[in-house]
Amino acid sequence: MNSSNGPWPPLIVATHVPRFVKWRDILLTLVIWGCFAVLLDKEYELFLDDYLEPLGLDLFDTHANWPEFFDRLMPFLLTAAILGGLLVIFSLRTLRRRSRGLLLPKPAPLETAHQAHHAGLNEAELIDARSQRIVIVHIDTNGRHRIEAPHGR
């Protein structure tokens, strides 16, 4: 596949989705919503019983008991509050640490001789490689670098 002829950035667009995929997605969505409704069965009883009774849909055996509803929901609300609070605290700490880091002085630039020694090159080779637009760098198993100019240049 040659991406040089297409527009940039490449987009993944589903213009012709097969019918099977659409029906599969609809079915999976309905199944997941059904599972979600089954998991919240008791909560629906507590919440909707008084509203469905005038319509003749007295499906549930309990009346809305708000204290019981909130007692059952309290562990989830507390967990969400704690996690939200921790998110705010750590976000503020990160912003503070970042602002402090920006106030630090910039480190001294690495000297060419030291960088060349670390790469296993001599200083002239490194300076020559930096002056070229394109270079090929080979790194062996010992971490030694070998710089090669591309062919035809």
Among residues 97, 126, 132, 129, the alpha carbon closest in space to that of 112 is found at 126
Model pTM greater than 0.85? no
- Interval 53-67: pLDDT, tens: 666 655 555 566 778
Shared domain for 33 and 54, answered yes or no, is yes
Q: Helix 41-52 to helix 66-103 angle, to the nearest 10 degrees?
A: 120
- Residue 56 DSSP symbol: T
Please report the pLDDT score of residue 6 as a whole number: 67
The number of residues in the chain equals 153
Number of domains in the chain: 3
Closest CA to 126 of 141, 111, 107, 140: 111
Q: Residues 70, 59: one domain?
A: no
Within-domain flag for 135 = yes
The predicted-structure confidence for 12-23, as pLDDT tens digits, reads as follows: 677 777 888 889
CB 46 within 8 A of CB 65: yes
Note down the domain range covering 95: 66-103
